[in-house]
Amino acid sequence: MAVANSVEGIQLVTFNLGAEEYGIDIVQVQEVICLVNIVSVPNAPHFVEGVIELRSKVIPVINLRKRLGMPEEEKTRNSRIIVADIGGETIGLIVDSVSEVLRIPLKTLQPLPEVAVTVDSQFLKGVARLDDRLIILLDFSELLSRDEIRELGSVEDGVA
């Protein structure tokens, strides 16, 4: 995981999917935007909501709930798109809400128990314990396989 880190800690963008709080290294995040009109793309992978235009560039948008195998929920006014660079592709990820940018001490980081991690979940990097909060750490660079990144590139190219 690329980490915006110092000797004391790392800086995370925290967001929610349902009742769970997640964190992603701020280095992996380009920006956070409100939901905009998403254009559906035929024959896209099941977790791809479609594409958006952002600063004259067409980017694919992934529903992070679907990608993580969670049940779908209706989008609300708190829903956001986290724009990130994943494998050299600019990709938007829909989340239920974005909480804050947070600096956490390195000593609060713990690995996930092996029983909680499968081959398909290599993007789960650990847990941060802060007071009464548990923040699940994700690594967006591991969220998609190379084939999926290539497929998203073709979704983007097919619309442009």
**Number of domains forming the structure of the chain:** 1
Q: Is residue 3 part of a domain?
A: no
Q: Is residue 4 part of a domain?
A: no
Beta strands in the chain (DSSP E): 9-17, 20-25, 29-34, 48-54, 57-63, 80-86, 89-95, 97-105, 109-110, 124-130, 133-138
Confidence (pTM): 0.84
Write the CATH number for 86.
2.40.50.180
pLDDT in single tens digits along all 160 residues of the chain = 444 455 578 899 999 999 999 999 999 999 999 999 999 988 888 899 999 999 899 999 999 999 888 898 999 999 999 999 887 889 999 999 999 999 988 888 888 776 555 545 677 788 898 888 889 998 888 777 677 777 766 665 655 4
Q: Is residue 1 part of a domain?
A: no
Q: Is residue 113 part of a domain?
A: yes
Q: Which domain holds residue 19?
A: 9-159
